[in-house]
Amino acid sequence: MYLIRVTRLLAGNKRPRWFSSEPQVTSTLTSSEIGLITLNHPPANAMGRVFLQQLKHEMKSMEDARCIILHSALAPKVFSAGADLKERATMTMEEAEAFVVQLRTTVQELSDLPVPVIAAIDGVAVGGGLELALAADLRVISARSKVGLPETSLAIVPGAGGTQRLPRLIGEGRAKELIWTGRRLSGVEAAEYGLATRLVENEESTLETAMKLAEEIAKKGPVAIRASKWSIHEGMKEASMENALEVERQAYARVLPTKDRLEGLAAFREGRTPNYRGE
């Protein structure tokens, strides 16, 4: 359906030593410069040490894309069931602590990517899998999906940002309810809670819906998109509106000298579609 210009599948001796014989995470770049990061570690995209190393590698490779979509090759069954608990069971306490740091750091690096990230969720996204999706900028969720943070059922707490990102997204009360009960929401409930940016209720896949959204974003000025993401993220950290508006001023200063800004004005004046180059 979509023209793929570049496929990043590491092979042979070029593959880093921590890649398994079957890559668990891969990435591609479309002709419209949309990066697709695919989770493919059957049966549940459980996130172990190798999975996280590969995910980090592929995220880094997509930093120059205009928009990134994170999706699962195992849809519609599962997006990600979270941390690999079988692997976790073999770890010492020190190893488990190091793994949680690795998981938290990788999820934060996803949030810190300079371009918009869309999580296309079709299936189960629980625990670390949902925390990964929470770190994305936008979430496209199918009605049949199931999402939740069940960690308290295992006598632990979400360790990759769930206790912080979820209340910021849906409010403190609802976040406490979901974390304390471990309840799973349907895709429809996730949309009602404000967790889903877009709900897919028909036969269209979440990837198709996410792709249409990404294509719309990719047509806009790349420098402006990156500057606006930075401005929103940094502004949300500020306690006062005065400081937040200073962040926006700095973001605007980034786009003023660009060729894209002049192209946008020229295209508007001439009644044509702008051709943005990220310059």
Assign residue 264 the CATH number of its domain.
1.10.12
7 lies in which domain range? 3-218
Q: Does residue 87 have an active-site annotation?
A: no
Residue 21: predicted pLDDT:
59
Tell me if 60 is assigned to some domain: yes
**Selected catalytic residue, list 119, 151, 160, 264:** 151
Residues 134 and 257 in one domain: no
- Answer yes or no: 235 catalytic: no
User: Is 230 found in the same domain as 213?
Assistant: no
Predicted TM-score of the model (pTM): 0.88
Q: Which of 128, 148, 159, 162 is catalytic?
A: 128
Confidence class of residue 96 from pLDDT cuts 50, 70 and 90? confident
Residue 167: cis peptide before it, omega within 30 degrees of 0 = no
Q: Is 12 a catalytic residue?
A: no
Q: pLDDT tens across 125-182, in order?
A: 999 999 999 999 999 999 999 999 999 998 989 999 999 999 999 999 999 999 999 9
For the chain, how many structural domains are there in total? 2
φ/ψ of 27, rounded to 5, equals: -145, 150
83 labelled catalytic:
yes
> What average pLDDT does this structure show over 188-195?
96
For 51, the token pair is: 């999975």
* 29/147 same-domain check: yes
Under 8 Å between Cβ of 79 and 27:
no
DSSP β-ladder status, 146-148 and 198-200: unpaired
Range from 2-11, 26-35, 140-149, 153-162 carrying the lowest mean pLDDT: 2-11
Catalytic member of 46, 65, 75, 83? 83
